[in-house]
Amino acid sequence: MFREMRRKKQLLSNEDVMEILEKSTSGVLAVIGDDDYPYAVPVSYVYYDSKIYFHGAKSGHKLDAIKKNAKVSFCVIDKDDIVKEEYTTYFRSVIAFGKAYVIEDEKEIMESIEKLSIKYYPEDSEENRNKAIEREKKALCMVRIDIEHVTGKEAIELVKMKNK
């Protein structure tokens, strides 16, 4: 169902892919938008239990598209160093494909909000974090991407550097 990567030498290991998903702070969600035009939007997210979670408003283009067609892709750029003299970039990125769902289960909503909160403000006190979550949760819509396929790729120059 999913295409095989053409440049296999540049394929990142599963460990590298998971590390990038865990440490990165933003990605670009791509959905099938209005009139079947692609709609890609940057989002802050958290990756855990082999799933991607993000939040948004309870209405809007992103949610309308997900409700219409759950199939999405999600791209994270880990590295993008311009090397002018070589007319290239030394890049590292991950693309995940899957299905996105608005989370309905209260326990999963709370757990994903907490994981997201801890990722972006790990030094906050539990008491303060819980107050903020309680204050904001009614306005939030939490979405989960169940990943069906994920790949990572890096510039051939980075591959060669690793192999030296």
pLDDT tens digits, one per residue of 105-156 = 999 999 999 999 999 999 999 999 999 998 988 888 999 999 999 999 988 8
pLDDT confidence bin for 159, thresholds 50/70/90: confident
What HEC string does 126-158 produce? HHHHHHHHHHHHHHCEEEEEEEEEEEEEECHHH
Region of poorest pLDDT, from 24-28, 52-56, 140-144, 152-156: 152-156
Asked if the model's pLDDT at residue 161 lies above 90, the reply is no
Helix (H) or strand (E) holding 78: strand 71-83
Q: Which residues are 154's β-sheet partners?
A: 92
What does residue 149 show for φ and ψ, rounded to 5 degrees?
Answer: -160, 140
Q: Identify whether the C-beta of residue 21 lies closer than 8 Å to the C-beta of residue 47.
A: yes
Asked if the model's pLDDT at residue 7 lies above 80, the reply is no
Asked if the model's pLDDT at residue 2 lies above 80, the reply is no
Residues ≥6 apart with Cβ < 8 Å to 109 = 103, 137, 142
- Mind listing the domains of the chain with CATH numbers? 8-102+142-163 (2.30.110.10)
